[in-house]
A = this chain, B = another copy of it.
Amino acid sequence: MFHGLSAFPLTPLKEGKIDEQAFTTLLRPLVDAGVDSLGILGSTGSYAYLTVAERAQVARCAVEHAGGIPVMVSIGALRLDDILRLADDAQAAGAAGVLMAPVSYQRLTAEEVYSLYERVTRQLSVPLCVYDNPATTGFTFSDELMFAVAALPNIGSVKFGRVPEDIAQVRSRLPDNVTMGISGDWQAAPALRAGFDVWYSVIAGVFPQTALAIARSKETAQSERLEPLWALFRRYGSLRVMAAAAEMMGKVTVPALPFPLQAIQGEPREALARLIVSLELA
């Protein structure tokens, strides 16, 4: 399941509760477009802000509406007890894979992170994607640690936050069954061209056709034309930008994000509205 285009939809809220109707409205065009997998409750899906019970609810709803497309569910949390419960819930819901970042409040040590992945993978019956995201976790994987974690049983993919300088060398040190995935949408086209297996995509959660055109063609020109959008992503965070897009398109109730997170407002929101038209995002 860890190949091609993986679409990461928002998890919209309505008055502080999961808005299942809006969520399924978001899923439908992704399923119709034929993305290769759904990345549910990723950073874009606000997983860190939701309770264990809410996350189980979202996982069940996603699998039910996925039309057979494999669903990956994030199980990241600060505390192992919660992670194991989330893993059980995701597997019971029918997830085909799980995603986990070394979420931290106290910045974790390399030993703690390794122990965490070891403990969690031991309990899994579906493959896990290692989620490297220093911007949200405050934890940076060393190459050594990443390779050690990737060699654990039940690891299926690594979601890299940036393209390594020597892709072939990284590839050669990963087990054969572990795919390389890229996040940070503006890096996707060059990463796929350079041999990455999968794009863990934020934009695909709202604009699946636009993302599929890039993922299938791997043409950097297709991505470069979206540079004004990528600039908004880098400046404000892709979550705040895509939430604004979904809000303006009437797909979710305003505000869709858990307070204090806020979709972009004012001038950048107006710029986004213009980009949706001028870039023919779909």
Contact = CB atoms under 8 A, between A and B. Distances in A.
Interface of A: 16, 43, 48-49, 78-81, 103, 105-109, 111-113, 115-116, 119, 135-136, 138, 236-237, 239-240, 258-262
B79 A49 contact: yes
Given A106-B239, A136-B106, A113 B81 contact: no
Contact of A49 (B43, B78, B111, B115): B78
A262 B104 CA distance: 13
30 contacts: A43-B106, A48-B78, A48-B105, A48-B106, A49-B79, A49-B105, A78-B258, A81-B258, A81-B259, A103-B105, A106-B239, A106-B240, A106-B261, A107-B135, A107-B136, A108-B260, A108-B261, A109-B236, A109-B262, A112-B260, A112-B261, A112-B262, A115-B259, A115-B260, A115-B262, A116-B259, A116-B260, A119-B260, A136-B138, A138-B138
Contact of A79 (B119, B239, B258): B258
The count of identical subunits is 2
Contact of A43 (B48, B105, B236): B105
Nearest to A117: B260
Contacts of A105: 43, 48-49, 103, 136
Contacts of A240: 106
Nearest to A137: B105
Contacts of A49: 78-79, 105
